Amino acid sequence: MAKTDHLARAHAFLERADMAGERLENSQVGIAVFDDRVPRRLDCNFLRVDAEADPETVQSEAERLGRRMIHVPDSEIGEQLVPHFRSKGWLVRRHVLMAQLRDPERDADVSVVSEVGEPSLRAARHRVVTGQPWAKPEIMAELFAGKELIGQRVRARYFAVVLDDQVVSYTDLYQDGADAQIEDVGTLQEYRKRGYATAVVLAAIAAARAEGAEFVFLVADLEDWPKELYRRLGFDELGYFVKFIAPHA
Report the pLDDT value the prediction gives residue 72, as an integer from 0 to 100.
Answer: 98
Render pLDDT for 41-98 as a digit per residue (tens, 0 to 9): 999 999 999 999 999 999 999 999 999 999 999 999 999 999 999 999 999 999 999 9
Sign of CA dihedral 245, 239, 202, 153: positive
| Percent of the chain whose predicted confidence (pLDDT) is above 70 | 98
Residues 6+ apart with CB under 8 A from 228: none
Q: What is the residue-averaged pLDDT of the chain?
A: 95
Beta bridge mates, 239: 97
Report the pLDDT value the prediction gives residue 86, as an integer from 0 to 100.
Answer: 97
| DSSP structure string for 151-219 | HHHSEEEEEEEEETTEEEEEEEEEEETTEEEEEEEEE-GGGTTSSHHHHHHHHHHHHHHHTT-SEEEEE
Compute how many other C-beta atoms are within 10 angstroms of the C-beta atom of residue 233.
22
* CB-based contact 97:219 (threshold 8 Å): yes
CA distances from 236 to 59, 174, 190, 201 (A): 33, 19, 29, 15
CA-based nearest residue to 196, from 95, 134, 113, 82: 113
pLDDT (tens, 9 = 90+) of the chain, 249 residues, equals 677 899 999 999 999 999 999 999 999 999 999 999 999 999 999 999 999 999 999 999 999 999 999 999 999 999 999 999 999 999 999 999 999 999 999 899 999 999 999 999 999 999 998 767 767 888 889 999 999 999 999 999 999 999 999 999 999 999 999 999 999 999 999 999 999 999 999 999 999 999 999 999 999 999 888 889 999 999 999 999 999 999 975
Report the pLDDT value the prediction gives residue 1, as an integer from 0 to 100.
Answer: 64
Report the pLDDT value the prediction gives residue 3, as an integer from 0 to 100.
Answer: 74
Report the pLDDT value the prediction gives residue 4, as an integer from 0 to 100.
Answer: 80
CA atoms within 13 A on the CB side of 96: 17
Separation of alpha carbons 83 and 78, rounded Å? 10
Q: What pTM, to 2 d.p., does this model score?
A: 0.94
Report the pLDDT value the prediction gives residue 130, as an integer from 0 to 100.
Answer: 77
CA-based nearest residue to 3, from 103, 105, 96: 96
